[in-house]
A and B are shown apart, each in its own frame.
Chain A
Amino acid sequence: MSVIKLTGGRVIDPANGINDQVRDIYVKDGRIVAALADGDKVSAEYNVSGRVVMSGAIDMHTHIGGGKVNIAREMLPEDHRGDPVARTEVTRSSCGYCAPGTLAAGYRYAEMGYTSCFEPAIIPMNARQAHMEMGDTPIVDTGGYAMLGSDDFLLRMLVANEDQKSINDYVAWILHSTQTLGIKVVNPGGISAFKFNQRKLDLDEQNAYYGVTPRRIIQTLTRAVHELGVPHPLHVHASNLGVAGNVDTTLATMEAAEGRPIHLTHIQFHSYGTEGDRKFSSGAARIAEAINRHKNVSADVGQVLFGQTVTASGDNMSQYRNAAFASPKKSAVMDIEMEAGCGVVPFKYKDQNFVNALQWAIGLEIFLMVEDPWRIFLTTDHPNGAPFTTYPHLIKLLTDRSFRNAMLDTINPDAKAMSNLAALEREYSLYEIAIMTRAAPARILGLTDRGHLAPGAAADIVVYTENADRERMFEKPDLVFKDGELVVRDGKVVKVVRGNTHVVKPEFDRGIEKKIEPYFRRFHSVRMNNFKISDDELCECGGGSKLIPHACGKRS
């Protein structure tokens, strides 16, 4: 039995309404407890008085595992050469800046105080690989969202006008079979359309073969996820990624949810207007206004930060188009297993490039104009907007207006002129940062024992020395505990532990397999039973990760 005491810290725990109160925290066997029982002996006490204590941070959208990320790693030896992670007594060697190896990713996340990371785009057929990669991402908890919406099975169900219940059963079956925590839709129906040689697909445009529109896919899937009681709303990568004028599509996509919960991911890439000489403008104000008005909508930003990165997406329709802008000039585009696709395109965001600079400003505008920090999430869509290691810098941009405006003065002047960023006075407080990076992601994912510090919570705890320079503060926590184990001291990994895997297991009618099994035999490349990942197998894929299922409250 281990009992840890963190003494005298300034606790910021928004999930429990605690804002900068001095409290002691007790940890017993990996969990936070209210107080010690008789006979408990404190095995380690940490005097953290004057220091800021938060729960471990949660990245709800980061591409850390699965096929496309591994393609990016293989593609970019030049990315890795300058960013080695040396072997130490406790850690293994690895490398990579924007496409790091899983070992490097896990260590670096932990060293920034992140204790949970979620891979948002798992092609069902690729779920094993995603879990293996996440299993080899040390220290942090993981989980993922399964991609549907361009899979031929669902599209055929829609064409056949199958009832919502059957669709719900299929969606639940996918969640079980892939051992995931949510459902993602990427360019709804568009990845399928690309296989039929369609090069764009608007929200109300029909897939050339199936006749199904993206709107219908979103309606059906938001309803399925909601009715199954999956905590995380449908995770939507909307149509027309990166296209000037896509703000209208994005607003219409919010409406397509018909009031049901919907999460719009990397919304920065979907917030573009067509004003100005270059027909590219910020749609941030309209997007923020709509999010403020629609309480059913949440979003993560997908902030762009300047420098070299690599974009990796399931949206091969967009990525095929973006390949023309690849830097360096190489790209990989794949159609995958009648389920989806992927596209990997290296990209360099330049502060003197009008479009890139405006993208940077648009992301920040959205952050600052969305009022409710519980519904806007801090992401760069790693590595699409920038690698996750830029988060401390992003936090500084959000918390420090003068720093932000100084940066704004250095970007492309035409982009600066097109942005209202300079007028936005808001500075995020530490409390709001804690909401955005801890309490809110835990809540929107249904992780009841993460993202807060009340008794019963897992002891994922981070201790920072407060520093007016928030970048310095957040890039190097003093202490990080994972499930009660001290894993990072002074920003360096001191112990490597294995994180858990978070999943949901909604109730459903197994009878759906009578339809799925013959489909696999006729059209797929594997048998249904070899597609499904059992709990035991997941544990093996995860290299021994513990499975944490989260409750679903069925709503139909």
Chain B
Amino acid sequence: MSALVLALRNAPAQRVDVGSLNPTALAGLSLADIAALTLSVGKRTVRVDDLFELSGDDSSDVVFRGDCSKLERIGAGMKSGRVTVDGDAGAYVGQGLLGGDIVVKGSAGAFCGTGMKRGRIEVTGDVADFAGAAIPGDMKGMAGGLLLVGGNAGERLGDRMRRGQILVSGNAGDYCGARMIAGTIAVAGKVGAYPGYLMKRGTLILNALPAQMLPGVVDCGSHRLGFLSLLYASWKGLPGPFGALDASACTVRRYMGDMGVSGRGELLVRGG
């Protein structure tokens, strides 16, 4: 058995929802069945094998090849298995993910990991705006699992995030953790303006605060927080800086906010 490879013949001009091409949905289908599935490209309906060259036979291990930046919802809703993107991916990677692994060897579009409940998404490059965030109208963004970002994250990282962990090796944009309800976001680089805007609960672990902070995020002093050592230990071996954290370095400066909306969110600044 070898991985089922879906190699784009040509990058489509329009965005294409390929959420159905995930290990859970493809389980039990023959290569011919898969080839005959249909997708919408703009106004056209095309067969999977019109868009992709198919090879391999293990549909529990799906590989997308080519310029996949127009392919949306890669791995959406899958329960187990593995999806790999050799290159950039489009928006909504792993939407509603229930298990398994998604690896993007490149960058991912907006709303990466939105609504995911379990499983793991690793993006070696950047994620665009709203990673781990709720789509309009949804009450929660990421709701569990792990999102690893090797590069930078855009704005509104973890907006309305409900549970799970997001680890960003690079920088995060403005309004990081806005409206967050629970869960953990850690950023190794810098964060943009106004982290924790309208944040209710949850934890941001940062290396430094930006210049632009909200008055409703207040300094609660230096603390040694025991749970951090457990957390850091659980990250041990992960790619990027969080896999190599000193589990004993648990002293942080703790900020709470956003005070107007319950104020139980915490921003922990390491080394504080």
| A–B interface present (Cβ within 8 A) | yes
On A, residues with C-beta under 8 Å from B are 75-78, 328-330
Question: Which of B27-35, B58-66, B132-140 touches A?
Answer: B132-140
How many residues of B are counted as interface, with CB atoms below 8 angstroms from the partner's CB atoms? 4
> Are the C-beta atoms of B139 and A328 separated by less than 8 Å?
yes
> Are the C-beta atoms of A77 and B139 separated by less than 8 Å?
no
A233→B138 CA distance, assembly (Å): 42
Nearest first, the 8 A-B pairs at minimum CB distance are A77-B137, A328-B139, A78-B137, A77-B136, A78-B138, A329-B139, A76-B137, A75-B137
Closest CB-CB distance, A202 to chain B, in whole Å?
35
In the complex, per-residue mask of B127-154: 1 if CB is within 8 Å of any chain A CB, else 0: 0000000001111000000000000000
Closest CB-CB distance, A72 to chain B, in whole Å?
12
Complex interface: chain B residues within 8 A of A328 (CB): 139
Complex interface: chain A residues within 8 A of B137 (CB): 75-78
Closest CB-CB distance, B115 to chain A, in whole Å?
11
Complex interface: chain A residues within 8 A of B136 (CB): 77
Complex interface: chain A residues within 8 A of B139 (CB): 328-330
Closest CB-CB distance, A73 to chain B, in whole Å?
11
Known: A78-B138, A328-B139, A330-B139. 6 other contacts (CB 8 A): A75-B137, A76-B137, A77-B136, A77-B137, A78-B137, A329-B139
Complex interface: chain B residues within 8 A of A76 (CB): 137
Closest CB-CB distance, A208 to chain B, in whole Å?
30
A75→B139 CA distance, assembly (Å): 12
Complex interface: chain A residues within 8 A of B138 (CB): 78
Q: Which residue of A lies closest to B136 (CB)?
A: A77
9 pairs, A vs B, C-beta closer than 8 Å: A75-B137, A76-B137, A77-B136, A77-B137, A78-B137, A78-B138, A328-B139, A329-B139, A330-B139
A328→B136 CA distance, assembly (Å): 13
Complex interface: chain B residues within 8 A of A75 (CB): 137
Q: Which residue of B lies closest to A81 (CB)?
A: B137
A77→B136 CA distance, assembly (Å): 8
Closest CB-CB distance, A99 to chain B, in whole Å?
12
Q: Which B102-136 residues have a C-beta within 8 angstroms of A?
A: 136
Complex interface: chain B residues within 8 A of A78 (CB): 137-138
Closest CB-CB distance, B14 to chain A, in whole Å?
18
Q: Which B210-231 residues have a C-beta within 8 angstroms of A?
A: none
Q: Which residue of A lies closest to B139 (CB)?
A: A328
A517→B9 CA distance, assembly (Å): 70
Q: Which residue of B lies closest to A78 (CB)?
A: B137
Closest CB-CB distance, B200 to chain A, in whole Å?
12
A329→B134 CA distance, assembly (Å): 14
Q: Which B145-190 residues have a C-beta within 8 angstroms of A?
A: none
A330→B134 CA distance, assembly (Å): 14
Q: Which residue of B lies closest to A75 (CB)?
A: B137
Closest CB-CB distance, A222 to chain B, in whole Å?
42
A264→B15 CA distance, assembly (Å): 52
Q: Which residue of A lies closest to B138 (CB)?
A: A78
Q: Which residue of B lies closest to A80 (CB)?
A: B137
Closest CB-CB distance, B167 to chain A, in whole Å?
28
A76→B137 CA distance, assembly (Å): 6
A118→B138 CA distance, assembly (Å): 32
Closest CB-CB distance, B198 to chain A, in whole Å?
14
The CB with the most chain A CB atoms within 10 A, among B136, B137, B138, B139, is that of: B137
Closest CB-CB distance, A13 to chain B, in whole Å?
46
A78→B136 CA distance, assembly (Å): 9
Closest CB-CB distance, A440 to chain B, in whole Å?
39
A77→B137 CA distance, assembly (Å): 6
A355→B138 CA distance, assembly (Å): 26
A330→B139 CA distance, assembly (Å): 9
A507→B87 CA distance, assembly (Å): 74
The CB with the most chain B CB atoms within 10 A, among A75, A76, A78, A330, is that of: A78
A328→B162 CA distance, assembly (Å): 14
Q: Which residue of B lies closest to A79 (CB)?
A: B137
A330→B140 CA distance, assembly (Å): 12
Q: Which residue of A lies closest to B140 (CB)?
A: A328
A77→B138 CA distance, assembly (Å): 8
A145→B138 CA distance, assembly (Å): 34
Complex interface: chain B residues within 8 A of A330 (CB): 139
A105→B138 CA distance, assembly (Å): 24
Complex interface: chain B residues within 8 A of A77 (CB): 136-137
Q: Which residue of B lies closest to A76 (CB)?
A: B137
Closest CB-CB distance, A328 to chain B, in whole Å?
5
Closest CB-CB distance, B133 to chain A, in whole Å?
15
A77→B134 CA distance, assembly (Å): 13
Complex interface: chain B residues within 8 A of A329 (CB): 139
Closest CB-CB distance, B63 to chain A, in whole Å?
29
A330→B136 CA distance, assembly (Å): 12
A37→B139 CA distance, assembly (Å): 64
A82→B81 CA distance, assembly (Å): 26
A330→B138 CA distance, assembly (Å): 10
A75→B138 CA distance, assembly (Å): 10
Closest CB-CB distance, B95 to chain A, in whole Å?
12
A329→B137 CA distance, assembly (Å): 10
Closest CB-CB distance, B72 to chain A, in whole Å?
14
Closest CB-CB distance, B262 to chain A, in whole Å?
14
Closest CB-CB distance, A346 to chain B, in whole Å?
10
A185→B173 CA distance, assembly (Å): 51
Q: Which residue of B lies closest to A77 (CB)?
A: B137
A214→B136 CA distance, assembly (Å): 40
Closest CB-CB distance, B117 to chain A, in whole Å?
16
Closest CB-CB distance, A80 to chain B, in whole Å?
9
A102→B159 CA distance, assembly (Å): 32
Closest CB-CB distance, B20 to chain A, in whole Å?
15
Q: Which residue of B lies closest to A329 (CB)?
A: B139
Closest CB-CB distance, A310 to chain B, in whole Å?
12
Q: Which residue of B lies closest to A327 (CB)?
A: B139
Q: Which residue of B lies closest to A330 (CB)?
A: B139
A76→B138 CA distance, assembly (Å): 9
Closest CB-CB distance, B250 to chain A, in whole Å?
35
Closest CB-CB distance, A537 to chain B, in whole Å?
34
A78→B138 CA distance, assembly (Å): 7
Closest CB-CB distance, B176 to chain A, in whole Å?
23
A328→B138 CA distance, assembly (Å): 9
Closest CB-CB distance, A186 to chain B, in whole Å?
28
A537→B138 CA distance, assembly (Å): 39
Q: Which B15-45 residues have a C-beta within 8 angstroms of A?
A: none
A75→B137 CA distance, assembly (Å): 7
